[in-house]
Amino acid sequence: MRRLTVGTARPYDVVVGTGALAGVGDLLAGHRRVALVAQEAVLDLHGGAVLHDLTGRGLDVVVCDMADGEDAKSFATVEALCRRWADAGLLRGDAVVALGGGVVGDTAGFAAAVYHRGIAVVQCPTTLLAQVDAAIGGKTAVNLPEGKNLVGAFHQPVGVLADTVTLATLPEREFRSGLGEVAKYALMGGADDTFGIGTLLADHGGAVLARDPAVLADLVARCAAVKVDVVTRDPEERSGLRATLNYGHTLAHALETAGLHDLQHGEAVAVGLVFAGALAGALERIDPARAELHRTLVDGLGLPTRVDGLGADELLAVMRRDKKAHGGLTFVLDGPDGLTAVDDPPPAALAVAFAAVGVDV
Ligand SMILES: NC(=O)c1ccc[n+]([C@@H]2O[C@H](COP(=O)([O-])OP(=O)(O)OC[C@H]3O[C@@H](n4cnc5c(N)ncnc54)[C@H](O)[C@@H]3O)[C@@H](O)[C@H]2O)c1
């Protein structure tokens, strides 16, 4: 089991490994009542152990199931959860356990942030994406019809329990999608592979795809450590450092917004990473071999490297409208000093990068 400490104002641990969920009772010792929020399928698969541990410690558990999918990440769900908690008598000193992927973590986390002006939440991520990313860092949000994640709050959990055993039941496409973020962390390590994630993928790629428990635990712990480090140094996205976590995401968000392709988030990130590598290569910030590594790494994980049938003009227009773009175009790109933000790259370099992912220029 790996224990990583997030050094926010009130520090908390991210525990990664086989059986991490069994620590939930310890973490909530001293509390009286707990709301366990999960989607039905995940509750059936992985809720038993959590429930057993909590009730075994004499905690009064209120099980709250919520619907699946992005549509459930809504004010309506937050209201339903808060009303259920009020009905069950949850008070300021009680706690929430969010068991599931990023949809549950974001929604239950946001409800916990606003219920009684903030009650404790334990994040128990059960998707690869949530274990390496969404559950760590305290960002919570719900969607509006006008856009994703438009209403939210920073609400750091009291702990994150990433039990890699839960990944065994994840549908294949969800697992692959999580690998898109894993590829991002691998490439964030730069040419000298600072975090050892690139080497792990090169040496044990087959075991990762086969979800070997020991290899997965190591992989998740290494990726989570990168996020923990960034969140510790920039807890509320003030210094710009946290923007490095958006590596590959500028194009990815545009692909998701353009909505012409049925791409999962991690698949869009995968294409975005290939694009970012090609753009950095065209700008001569990295050598051609490193740019090509972006493509081979993504390809080796069984993720898409291109999207055909889209036009660059359309994607550029979407990227300029992005809430983080401030009207111009900013990309996080690899370079001699690691990842840095690059504003408004020249059209010729953009054309090379678009061509590298199959987008018409
Ligand atoms: N807060 C953050 O910092 C942050 C970061 C990245 C993404 N997100 C958010 O995360 C969300 C996406 O999260 P996601 O990719 O985890 O998707 P998800 O939460 O929708 O989960 C995907 C599917 O897998 C199922 N599932 C979850 N765990 C399972 C398991 N162990 N076995 C079987 N099925 C399981 C879920 O029920 C769901 O159907 C988005 O809403 C995104 O905005 C948040």
> Does the pLDDT at position 325 exceed 90?
no
Asked if residue 72 is part of any domain, the answer here is yes
At residue 328, the pLDDT reads 84
User: Over the stretch 216-252, which tens digit does the pLDDT of each residue have?
Assistant: 999 999 999 999 999 999 988 888 888 899 999 999 9
At residue 260, the pLDDT reads 60
Classify residue 50 as exposed, middle or buried by CB count within 10 Å of its CB (0-12, 13-18, 19+).
buried
Residue where a domain terminates, one of 169, 203, 227: 169
Letter for the amino acid at 226?
Answer: V
Residue where a domain terminates, one of 143, 169, 195: 169
List the residue whose alpha carbon is closest to atom 5 of ligand 1.
134
Tokens found for residue 305: 């490297």
Q: What SS3 class is residue 118? A: coil
User: Over the stretch 275-309, which tens digit does the pLDDT of each residue have?
Assistant: 999 999 999 999 999 999 999 999 999 999 999 88
Asked if residue 236 is part of any domain, the answer here is no
List the residue whose alpha carbon is closest to atom 18 of ligand 1.
101
Contact between residue 254 and residue 319 where contact means Cβ atoms under 8 Å apart: yes
What is the spatial distance between Cα 131 and Cα 246, in angstroms, rounded to a whole number?
17
For 14, what's the count of Cα atoms within 13 Å in the CB-facing half-sphere? 32
At residue 53, the pLDDT reads 94
CATH at 23: 3.40.50.1970
**Structural domain that includes position 108:** 2-169
What integer is the mean pLDDT of 178-197? 96
Tokens found for residue 353: 């990068």
List the residue whose alpha carbon is closest to atom 34 of ligand 1.
170
Pocket flag, ligand 1, residue 134 (CB < 6 Å): yes
> Does the pLDDT at position 56 exceed 70?
yes
The reply to whether 250 and 131 lie within a common domain is no
Q: Residues 6 or more apart from 241 whose CB is under 8 A from it? A: 230, 233, 234
- The neighbour count for residue 93, using CB atoms within 10 Å, is 12
Tokens found for residue 63: 């099980």
Pocket test of ligand 1: the residue of 106, 242, 246 to mutate, having most ligand atoms within 8 Å of its CB, is: 106
What is the spatial distance between Cα 104 and Cα 127, in angstroms, rounded to a whole number?
11
Q: Which atom of ligand 1 is nearest to the CA of 140?
A: 1
Q: Residues 6 or more apart from 250 whose CB is under 8 A from it? A: 272, 276, 319, 322, 325, 329, 330, 331, 332
CATH at 268: 1.20.1090.10
User: Over the stretch 104-140, which tens digit does the pLDDT of each residue have?
Assistant: 999 999 999 999 999 999 999 999 999 999 999 999 9
Residue where a domain terminates, one of 169, 189, 218: 169
Pocket test of ligand 1: the residue of 129, 133, 160, 231 to mutate, having most ligand atoms within 8 Å of its CB, is: 129
At residue 323, the pLDDT reads 62
Give the model's confidence band at 315: pLDDT under 50 very low, under 70 low, under 90 confident, else very high.
very high
Asked if residue 174 is part of any domain, the answer here is no
Tokens found for residue 177: 């999608």
The reply to whether 153 and 274 lie within a common domain is no
User: Over the stretch 62-110, which tens digit does the pLDDT of each residue have?
Assistant: 999 999 999 999 999 999 999 999 999 999 999 999 999 999 999 999 9
> Does the pLDDT at position 261 exceed 80?
no
Least confident range from 1-5, 207-211, 262-266: namely 262-266
Q: What distances in angstroms separate CA 8 from CA 1, 139, 260, 283, 286, one per listed residue?
A: 22, 13, 39, 36, 34
Percentage of residues in the chain with pLDDT exceeding 90?
A: 89
At residue 326, the pLDDT reads 65
Q: Which atom of ligand 1 is nearest to the CA of 152?
A: 1
Q: Residues 6 or more apart from 171 whose CB is under 8 A from it? A: none
